[in-house]
Amino acid sequence: MITLRRSEERGHANHGWLDSFHTFSFANYHDANHMGFGPLRVINDDRIAAGRGFGKHGHRDMEIITYVLDGAVAHEDSMGNGSTIRPGDIQRMSAGRGVMHSEFNPQPDAGTHLLQIWIEPDVTNIEPEYEEKRFPEVEKRGRFRLVASPDGAEGSARIHQNAQFYVGLFDGDESATYTLAAGRRAWLHVARGEVSVNGQALGPGDAAAIEDADMVTLSDGRQAEVLLFDLP
């Protein structure tokens, strides 16, 4: 079974410097029917104005993944990490028993477009962790590239949850099929472009919840960048 979540159905908040769409309930946007999908709790589609960002703030007991689509994000945290991530990079922060961090668009004359993803961990009150990984475009072209997993398989970032996170790029004749194990479900999010998912046409910001199915098949991509979560 596939259930669509269209882009225009998401929550929306425009703060001037930040224009954000919320796939699931977040901050002042509350929808009892969209509190998350399994341990997948947040997908925020954020556009951050030049030179602006989130000041120092805290998190705990959450796996936080930042995926940059365009631009750059400068990160600093209470663990002593400081770096700038760009398209192709995955940043994973396990907040554990508590961490403070800030995120800014360091570019003086260009906006940044990113997805921030929160996954509820299967362990709490751990020592906070930070990790960055880079995945070149060629590794995502026409296939699902594993970018986060519980065991760091295939060079992916390691998260504290029995979930796998994949990214793929699809255009023209490129297609791929992902097999779901028994008892698993998938959430697919189209970051940009257009693609067909199990025969359903999706556009930018659209998503699909896939349950009681054996496979997720992508085809008919038009400059599509797709995120796939394999979840318990």
CATH number of the domain enclosing 208: 2.60.120.10
* Mean pLDDT value of segment 176-191: 97
189 falls in which pLDDT band (50, 70, 90)? very high
> What residue numbers bound the domain in which 202 lies?
2-231
Q: What is the pLDDT of residue 91?
A: 96
Residue 143 has pLDDT above 90, yes or no: yes
Q: Can you tell me whether residue 113 is helix, strand or coil? A: strand
pTM of the model as a whole:
0.96
Is it the case that residue 137 has pLDDT exceeding 90?
yes
73: left (phi over 0), alpha (psi -120 to 50) or beta: beta
pLDDT value of position 80: 87
What percent of the chain clears pLDDT 70, i.e. is strictly above it?
100
The whole-number average pLDDT for the span 124-150 is 97
pLDDT reported for residue 62: 97
Of 145, 161, 129, 155, give the one whose Cα is nearest residue 38.
161
Q: What is the number of structural domains in the chain?
A: 1
- What pLDDT sits at residue 81? 87
